[in-house]
């Protein structure tokens, strides 16, 4: 287990950081505990015995009664079944919770907020009567969210950012990294970043690039391995969104093998 980040957390909230740091997970996955006696565990993290033991130790004399999942990725949800088996907690995720649905116990209430984009099933959770949103991988401070085609959908992601701007919460507790003190400012910055990335992709297309690998080389610094694959999937998500809006055409198969071009502007 990694050390708990040295930052203050709201009352009722504790965090245990999984020992799974990396280029796509930052310092590791944050697993949050909400409550004192009867607790909700938000994103129990990977299937890892050391992390599970750390979570149970952090509970102290309390009991985990609910396990809430922001999305299905294994670094967030992999440990859910084993933790549920050991604690008797109920697992609540995208297959059960509707947008706006409340999960509550004597000490806390959490509202499910549908935020598809990073994945089709992504949820955030608002801590009611507090200025707190558990933002999963939708909004993080250390990095932009990975929108990996085809499960990741850029149009949904941008719409979900707009949803958060319309909500009151400003303190975001993300799935990786430190709390985001001004969530709305971060959301606006992420939206601006995606707009700039889209413009860079369009510029590459206008300069004659037509393939996903070629666009990646034009838009990104040199990348290798998993980061290169992630960049290609992100570019595909942008291209898919551009095709949906009638700004770009695609020839050939969906995915990495397609050829893309800018469509003439409509009169």
pLDDT digits (tens, 9 = 90+) for 21-78: 999 999 999 999 999 999 999 999 999 999 999 999 999 999 999 999 999 999 999 9
| Token pair of 258 as six digits | 């397609």
Who's near 18: CB < 8 A, 6+ residues apart? 1, 2, 28, 29, 30, 31, 45, 46, 48, 51, 75
In terms of Cα–Cα distance, which of 229, 232, 193 is closest to 211?
232
Tokens of 127: 């801590």
Does 6 score more than 50 pLDDT? no
The fold for domain 13-181 equals Metallo-beta-lactamase; Chain A (3.60.15)
pLDDT digits (tens, 9 = 90+) for 181-222: 999 999 999 999 999 999 999 999 999 999 999 999 999 988
Strands 63-68 and 132-136: unpaired
Top-confidence residue, 8 or 203: 203
Sheet holding 109-114, edge to edge: 102-104, 109-114, 123-127, 132-136, 171-174
| CATH value of 193-262 in 3.60.20.10, 1.10.10.10, 3.40.50.720, 1.10.1380.10 | 1.10.10.10
The pTM score is: 0.94
What tokens appear for 90 in the block? Answer: 């109920």
Q: How far is CA 107 from the centre of its chain?
A: 26
Q: Using CA atoms, how far apart are residues 20 and 24, in angstroms rounded to an integer?
A: 10
Residue limits of CATH 3.60.15.10 in the chain: 13-181
More confident residue, 173 or 5: 173
C-alpha span between 238 and 7 (Å, rounded)? 34
CATH 1.10.10.10: which residues of the chain?
Answer: 193-262
Q: Give the model's pLDDT for residue 19.
A: 97
- Per-residue pLDDT band at 267 (split at 50, 70, 90): low
User: In whole angstroms, what is the distance from residue 55 CA to residue 62 CA?
Assistant: 11
Residue among 179, 71, 83, 76 nearest 127 (CA): 179
Mean pLDDT of the chain: 94
Residue 158: per-residue pLDDT:
98
């Amino acid at each position: 287990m990694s050390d708990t980040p040295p930052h203050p957390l709201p009352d009722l909230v504790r965090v245990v950081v999984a020992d799974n740091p990396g280029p796509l997970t930052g310092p590791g996955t944050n697993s949050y505990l909400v409550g004192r006696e009867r607790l909700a565990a938000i994103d129990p993290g990977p299937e890892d015995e050391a992390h599970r033991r750390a979570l149970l130790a952090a509970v102290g004399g309390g009991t985990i009664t609910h396990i809430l999942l922001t999305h299905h990725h294994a670094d967030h949800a992999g440990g859910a079944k084993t933790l549920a088996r050991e604690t008797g907690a109920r697992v609540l995720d995208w297959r059960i919770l509707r947008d706006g649905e409340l999960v509550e116990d004597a000490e806390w209430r959490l509202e499910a907020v549908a935020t598809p984009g990073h994945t089709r099933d992504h949820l955030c959770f608002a801590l009611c009567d507090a200025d707190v949103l558990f933002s999963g991988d939708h909004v993080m401070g250390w990095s932009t969210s990975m929108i990996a085609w085809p499960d990741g959908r850029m149009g949904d992601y941008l719409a979900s950012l707009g949803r958060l701007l319309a909500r009151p919460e400003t303190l975001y507790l993300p799935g990786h990294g430190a709390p985001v003190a001004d969530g709305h400012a971060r959301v606006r910055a992420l939206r601006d970043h995606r707009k700039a990335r889209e413009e860079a992709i369009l510029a590459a297309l206008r300069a004659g690039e037509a393939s996903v690998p070629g666009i990646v080389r034009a838009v990104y610094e040199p990348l290798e391995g998993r980061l290169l694959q992630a960049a290609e999937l992100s570019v595909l998500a942008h291209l898919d969104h551009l095709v949906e809006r009638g700004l770009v055409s695609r020839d050939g198969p969906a995915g990495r093998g397609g050829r893309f071009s800018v469509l003439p502007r409509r009169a």
